[in-house]
Chains A and B, each alone.
Chain A
Amino acid sequence: MSRIVAAMSGGVDSSVAAALLTRKQCRRDARRVAQLLDIPFFILNVEREFGERVIDTFVDAYLDGATPNPCQACNQYIKFDELLKRGLAAYGADAVATGHYARLEHRDGRWRLMRAADADKDQTYFLWVLDQDQLARTRFPLGDLTKPQVRAMATELTLPTAQKPESQEICFVPLGDYRALLEERRGYAGEPGPIVDADGTQVGTHTGYAHYTVGQRHGLGVALGEAVYVREVQPSTNTVVIGRREEVAQHTFTVDGARFTAGEPPAERFGASVRIRHRAPDVAAEVTMVGRDRFLVETAEAVWAPAPGQAAVLYDGEECLGGGRIARA
């Protein structure tokens, strides 16, 4: 791989220039890998769909005081929809395969989305949106492997990406700073407003509500002698509410936009384990359907900072049942 020095001013132009360099690198790596594996390589342009379905949705979540799920949106609308449909039509393909860590099983007449063998890498938290039609046309070749095994195979196949470091950032947010994106896509520059505690007492000033998410600890500029976290973001009043650790934990919350991999919930009321952020531990819960696309989650132990907009994903043991987006309290 070539070494490129990117001059960074911290402004949007140099940030995007650097991001483009890395993306080009990605494309070249992908092409080289495809050549080595004897796979015809095409570039499918989904820039418009990605911009609308993933980036704009991401930005709008912040403006709504919620926490976005860009990877899940990309799975739902790009990889397992646009790519799947265009792949099937243009290339006469039968299925789309991705490098996600998850497994599929066909049992008792339906496709089941199962956690990956490598529990540490499991990505079902981003895949709960898939339905039976999508699951039937999906392959997860890495589902039974661990990350070290995957790296070993890449090394054995002498792929140029074998030792490539893991990407942790959101691919379209260079350096993890999404604030420039809010301004660029929606003209949101941020207006200073109050940071208040549970009693409504102002304890600080923020740079704009959309710059904060529930559960955030850093960057508040508030010194109260103990750790404080964002508890609520109120767009209408441009207010950020903070609380102590125990104040941001909850036992019950409502979930909107419910989807189930089976097409319908297992029952009107059922036990499940719930996960409310990637790599957070699962918690035992009682789930009660409220109409067709809402459900109430009551957890046995308090879960920490359920953030509006974040996915609440339901599991029955190893099987991912589906999920939804946490609603505003």
Chain B
Amino acid sequence: MGPHLPPDALLSAQTSSLGSRLDSPSDADAARGYHRAMAIYLDHAATTPIRPEVLEVMLPYLTEHQGNPSSIHASGRRARQALDEAREEIARHLGAKPREIVFTASGTEADNLAVRGVAWAASAKGRHIVTSAVEHKAILATTAVLERHGFEVTVVGVDRSGRVDPEEVAAAITDRTTLVTIQSANNEVGTLQPVAAIGAICRARGVAFHVDAVQSAAFEPPNPNAWQATLVSLSAHKMYGPKGVGALYVRQGTAMLPQSSGGAQERQRRAGTENVPAIAGFAEAMRLVHTDPTDFVPLRDRLIAGATALDGLTLSGHPTERLPNSASFVVDGVEGGDLVAALDLEGIEASTGSACTTGSVEPSHVLLAMGVDPQEARGSLRLTIGRTTTEAEVDRTLVVLAGVVGRLRGMRAPAGATA
């Protein structure tokens, strides 16, 4: 590196001598800090490890059953069977009809298809969309694109706990409104939204209602009927399934303009050969997660109680109306990115809030919408537990967190090195 360092200065901490050659891949991974024996994974909101049973279900479709479900022959029929069964399984958990499930490549794609597909299909009737300030960027970036195409978008705010007020949604709906899109739970702070109340309003006003249920589906089966939802987005890898597959529930009779063309798959709503192994794994993950008796709340509350007992750590999001596995905080006097890197080097994998915005300069749009001061919002930390998280891991995390936060704050004191 020459004398010029780019503004986003790059820092690497060296753990092995330059040019050393390690014998086995696991040694090499260990040296990179990728697979530490003692690593504690507390980033289940970003993604979850695939369950062994899920992998078991997927493997045959990656090896012997390689057919294309659109093919006429036996291999194709075998793949088609897997696809049909997966669709039925997922529909069953949603209380939906199999034909109402559209498989996509991700939760983000499901969100895009819901918002673009319905907004354009209904554009002759009206061009107004209502959403909230704390939605995932998959929604907010998509509605921003539609805004540039002449749609009107109303973004309702949230209270300090991150909750949308259904009355505000009701007040935002006009004669031209065709779609309301609100998440069931926030990915960054874990706050649950009153989607059933919002759904009732939308039903009464004759407006399509989309629920991004990507973050909550692992804990509570998505329920389009109870929510009176027209569309619901899901993602497999947030529920111990594989990455690269999502789904959109589309209530029968909903007009939707496909966003990809070139194939008749998914009842002409999403062209492209279906990812059969991932879809099979998705269905198995869905089946398992909704029969899993794990109660996350006591461990989550132990984490929250321990962390908020530390000086200058406050809980963000709603104290009780939150995802059972999510603990998120604002930490005074530290940069979230520094804190997460420091925790990583101590063997604890956490997040500043959203993996999708890591590395961005701006503080979290969710925290800002909740009225958190922009400077304070830089100190965001999200710890999300999973099926295999233990009490000992939580306790160890609290000890390390206290030490690391203290060390990071210490550097803010005047240093001798300062000019």
B210 CB, nearest partner CB in chain A, Å? 33
Asked whether B2 lies within 8 Å of A86 as measured between CB atoms, the reply is no
Asked whether B341 lies within 8 Å of A90 as measured between CB atoms, the reply is yes
Tell me the complex Cα distance, A137–B339, Å: 22
Q: How many residues of B contact A (CB 8 A)?
A: 44
Asked whether B16 lies within 8 Å of A171 as measured between CB atoms, the reply is no
Asked whether A79 lies within 8 Å of B5 as measured between CB atoms, the reply is yes
Interface string of A26-37 (1 = CB under 8 A from B): 110010001101
Tell me the complex Cα distance, A26–B4, Å: 11
Q: Is B24 an interface residue (CB 8 A)?
A: no
Asked whether B411 lies within 8 Å of A38 as measured between CB atoms, the reply is no
Residues 1-43 (chain A) with a chain B CB within 8 angstroms: 23, 26-27, 30, 34-35, 37-43
Asked whether B11 lies within 8 Å of A83 as measured between CB atoms, the reply is yes
Q: Is A170 an interface residue (CB 8 A)?
A: yes
Q: Is A328 an interface residue (CB 8 A)?
A: no
Known contacts A91-B341, A166-B2, A171-B7: A40-B15 contact under CB 8 Å: yes
Q: Is B124 an interface residue (CB 8 A)?
A: no
Contacts of A38 in B (CB 8 A): 15-16, 20, 22, 28, 31-32
Tell me the complex Cα distance, A167–B6, Å: 11
Tell me the complex Cα distance, A99–B339, Å: 26
Tell me the complex Cα distance, A135–B407, Å: 22
Asked whether A87 lies within 8 Å of B10 as measured between CB atoms, the reply is no
Q: Is A129 an interface residue (CB 8 A)?
A: yes
Asked whether A85 lies within 8 Å of B417 as measured between CB atoms, the reply is yes
Q: Is A44 an interface residue (CB 8 A)?
A: yes
Return the chain B residue nearest A51 by Cβ.
Answer: B7
Asked whether B3 lies within 8 Å of A157 as measured between CB atoms, the reply is no
Known contacts A77-B419, A157-B19: A27-B12 contact under CB 8 Å: no
Tell me the complex Cα distance, A239–B408, Å: 49
Asked whether A92 lies within 8 Å of B345 as measured between CB atoms, the reply is yes
Return the chain A residue nearest B20 by Cβ.
Answer: A38
Asked whether B337 lies within 8 Å of A45 as measured between CB atoms, the reply is yes
Residues 73-111 (chain A) with a chain B CB within 8 angstroms: 74-93, 96-100
Return the chain A residue nearest B30 by Cβ.
Answer: A38
- From B19, B32, B342, B407, A35 is in contact (CB under 8 Å) with B32
Asked whether B338 lies within 8 Å of A167 as measured between CB atoms, the reply is no
Asked whether B10 lies within 8 Å of A44 as measured between CB atoms, the reply is yes
Asked whether A40 lies within 8 Å of B10 as measured between CB atoms, the reply is no
Contacts of A80 in B (CB 8 A): 417
Q: Is A126 an interface residue (CB 8 A)?
A: yes
Jot down 17 A-B pairs with beta carbons below 8 A, ordered by A. A37-B14, A38-B20, A38-B32, A39-B13, A41-B10, A43-B8, A43-B337, A51-B7, A78-B5, A82-B9, A85-B411, A85-B417, A87-B13, A89-B410, A90-B342, A91-B11, A133-B417
Task: Using CB atoms and an 8 Å cutoff, list the residues of chain B in contact with chain A.
Answer: 1-16, 18-20, 22, 28, 31-33, 335, 337-339, 341-342, 344-345, 359, 361, 404, 407-408, 410-411, 415-419
- Given A39-B15, A167-B2, list of 17 further CB < 8 A pairs? A23-B6, A38-B20, A39-B16, A43-B359, A44-B9, A45-B337, A46-B7, A47-B361, A74-B3, A79-B9, A81-B415, A86-B335, A89-B408, A89-B411, A123-B3, A131-B416, A172-B7
